[in-house]
Chains A and B, each alone.
Chain A
Amino acid sequence: MSQFDIGVLFAVGTLVLLLSGMPVAFALGVMSLLFIVVFMPPMLIHTIPETLYQGLDNFTLLAIPLFILMGEAIGRTRASVDLYESAYRWLSRLPGGLGIANVVGCSIFAAMCGSSTATAAAIGSMGIPEMKKRGYSGGLAGGLIAAGGTLGILIPPSVTFILYGIVAEQSIGKLFIAGIVPGILLAALFAVWVAYKAHRDHKRALAGGADTAHQRIMQEHFTWRERMETLPRLLPFAIIIFIVMVALYGGYATPSEVAGVGAFATLVMVVVVYRCYRWSELGPILLGTAKESCMIMMILAMSFLYTYVMSYLHISQSTTEWLVGLTMSRWEFLFWIDVLILVLGFFLPPVAIILFITPVILPGLVAHGFDPVWFGVQMTILMETGLIHPPVGLNLFVIQGIAPEIPLKELLWGVTPFIVLIVLFIIVIAVFPQIVLWLPGYM
């Protein structure tokens, strides 16, 4: 069998196993094991333990479970309620203020945890019932939270950036910084859309004969005193974000150390400030953290075996050579890579996409003059769409879990404008890469 045939068999076999519903981690593991047995010297089976251990023997990886712990600690306590309530009181005067408060809540939560589903679950469990109570359509409320949740992997810290940094051998600190401006701009775009949509729906409701009670429900106002009294409750979040930002961007600690300090500070906050010291409160935080981080780390562990096999059989090298040798313009090349990521995003979670294709496509992108940091951010934004469209759409599942009364069709219509906004934003950062690169340029 030629090298090309082995490569095709490997890729097709992996896709078939992945689409068969097997856990991503074990699908990668089974393919690796199968190819070691069939196409590699039998003695190499004994290198499996060493390959697994050497892959995991990386202090940088520790950032993933620690940032997840941070998110779980905030998301499963009253801390997230306070965050949400404060954002709402301060933004209630704006048109669509409640919707904007949800976007801001998602952004702040994203700044403390690196997971999209955690962000959508934490803010959505309060935001969706509140928005529906105040006259927002189920589609807009669910769509907004699903899309807002995706900011979790763009606004640093981000699990996606950590994985990309490890696989692409790029500075994770630089990737984090590069995600700040696009994250804020995308959040602003979401906020503008939700303000416009909520305002339009409100006007239509009034024109359709809705009474003053509707008006009152839609626009709840708070006094300055009511707003001010939320500030002390925001203080612990401000302190944690401050500690994380100063430690990371001031160069005092590595991303993993920052994650450790942030997670520890968050645990202290929920125990001391929110009095969550009972086992019934701490237990779910520990279990949630263990489950989420184990899922990602197992995929990562098996991907080490997978890349080892790819490298041994020269599959990755041959594919890279083929990609680099393609005669097409840089924009054409980027377009097809983006189409590939988008299509993979229909079926695979971001973690798998990064581990699956980054080692193969990155040399080609670099050869075409694209900055790896810029591409990491662009790829992350593109993968956000995969989180909010079927069939995988992890955030859609989260929303359906929180608000099962919102029909899937309505939810899909609700997220569609956000998908359009994300795609438009990708075009903007492709034309103006400085949006992504100017802040890391100061590092």
Chain B
Amino acid sequence: MALFFCSEGIIVAAMWRGFCRGMEIASTITGYLGGALIAISAGTVTYEVIWRYYLVHPHTWALEANVFLLIGATFAAASFTQLKRGHVGTEVLDLLLPKHWIPWRVLFGDILSCVLCGFIGVQVGLYAIHAWEEDWTTDSVWAPHLWIPHSIISAGMLLITLQYLVQIVDDVRLLGGTQEKVEAK
């Protein structure tokens, strides 16, 4: 029996490690994707400027395509930015709190952020499904489908939620280590 639980624990740990590695790879790929979308946007803006000013031939798609690229870049890179802890925050409280409270502070912030991102991810996802079913488009001449930007926002927020989940587990592990050290003292 003990052997069974032990081997089950090992399998769960191995699966979790695999999930963490998978998240790291996914976040890095979407980070590259975010940067690439910005570079593509630079190209399309330049193309549009040349076309409009020198060939006097504006396109109807340029503005909205670039806005979609901007939204895509922002939300695609969200989980990579979180992977690198790049979402800037103010750690003033760390100067005032006792050292062993800091991991609790980090855990608290990560849980709140995770819940928020998950909630927004789901909300926007439901909206995207609705937009898909109703065939909603923007008001412009080009009239692209509205489910496109909303599904990108939703996917980005859900990916960052998963990234937070990985970091929350890390926080808890760190907390366990800190508690053990405090108790040992």
Interface residues of A, Cβ cutoff 8 Å to B: 17-27, 29-30, 33, 45-46, 48-50, 52-53, 56-59, 61-62, 65-66, 68-69, 247, 252-253, 256-257, 259-261, 263-265, 267, 283, 285-295, 297-299, 301, 347-349, 391-392, 394
The smallest beta-carbon distance between A38 and chain B, in angstroms, is 15
State A20–B97 Cα separation when bound (angstroms).
10
Q: A259-B42, A264-B45 are in contact. List 11 more A-B contacts (CB 8 A).
A: A53-B71, A53-B149, A53-B150, A252-B49, A257-B48, A260-B41, A261-B42, A290-B31, A294-B81, A295-B87, A298-B74
> What are 8 A-B pairs with beta-carbon distances under 8 A?
A26-B87, A46-B127, A56-B67, A69-B42, A261-B45, A286-B35, A290-B34, A291-B77
B93 touches A20 (CB 8 A): yes
Q: Is B22 an interface residue (CB 8 A)?
A: no
Q: Mark B51-91, 1 if CB is under 8 A from A, else 0.
A: 00100000000010011011101101110110010111111
B-chain residues with CB within 8 Å of residue A283 when the two chains form the complex = 32
A62 touches B66 (CB 8 A): yes
A61 touches B70 (CB 8 A): yes
- Given known contacts A20-B105, A301-B74, A391-B95, A260 and B45 CB-to-CB distance under 8 angstroms: yes
A-chain residues with CB within 8 Å of residue B69 when the two chains form the complex = 62
B113 touches A30 (CB 8 A): yes
B39 touches A69 (CB 8 A): yes
State A382–B93 Cα separation when bound (angstroms).
24
Q: Mark B118-150, 1 if CB is under 8 A from A, else 0.
A: 011001100110000000000000000010011
B90 touches A19 (CB 8 A): yes
A347 touches B67 (CB 8 A): no
State A23–B33 Cα separation when bound (angstroms).
23
By secondary structure, the B interface counts as helix
A349 touches B88 (CB 8 A): yes
Q: Is B174 an interface residue (CB 8 A)?
A: no
A48 touches B120 (CB 8 A): yes
A22 touches B113 (CB 8 A): yes
Q: Could you say which of A294, A297, A299 has the most chain B C-beta atoms within 10 Å of its C-beta?
A: A294
**From B83, which residue of chain A is reached at the shortest CB distance?**
A291
A65 touches B38 (CB 8 A): yes
Contacting residue for B112 out of A30, A288, A301, CB 8 A:
A30
Report the number of A-B residue pairs with Cβ-Cβ less than 8 Å: 210
Shortest beta-carbon contacts, A-B, top 4: A260-B45, A286-B35, A23-B87, A290-B34
Q: Is B179 an interface residue (CB 8 A)?
A: no
Q: Is B170 an interface residue (CB 8 A)?
A: no
- In chain B, positions 1-34 with a C-beta closer than 8 Å to chain A are 28, 31-34
B49 touches A286 (CB 8 A): no
The smallest beta-carbon distance between B137 and chain A, in angstroms, is 13
The smallest beta-carbon distance between A270 and chain B, in angstroms, is 11
The smallest beta-carbon distance between A171 and chain B, in angstroms, is 19
**From A297, which residue of chain B is reached at the shortest CB distance?**
B74
A18 touches B90 (CB 8 A): yes
State A434–B91 Cα separation when bound (angstroms).
39
The smallest beta-carbon distance between B10 and chain A, in angstroms, is 34
B123 touches A49 (CB 8 A): yes
A-chain residues with CB within 8 Å of residue B28 when the two chains form the complex = 287
B90 touches A261 (CB 8 A): no
State A49–B126 Cα separation when bound (angstroms).
9
Contacting residue for B42 out of A53, A267, A295, CB 8 A:
A267
The smallest beta-carbon distance between A175 and chain B, in angstroms, is 20
State A18–B87 Cα separation when bound (angstroms).
12
B87 touches A57 (CB 8 A): no
Contacting residue for A289 out of B38, B53, B108, CB 8 A:
B38
B80 touches A291 (CB 8 A): yes
- Given known contacts A297-B74, A391-B95, A21 and B88 CB-to-CB distance under 8 angstroms: no
State A172–B144 Cα separation when bound (angstroms).
28
State A394–B39 Cα separation when bound (angstroms).
26
A-chain residues with CB within 8 Å of residue B165 when the two chains form the complex = none
A348 touches B124 (CB 8 A): no
Q: Is B109 an interface residue (CB 8 A)?
A: yes
State A386–B31 Cα separation when bound (angstroms).
29
A264 touches B43 (CB 8 A): yes
Q: Is B184 an interface residue (CB 8 A)?
A: no
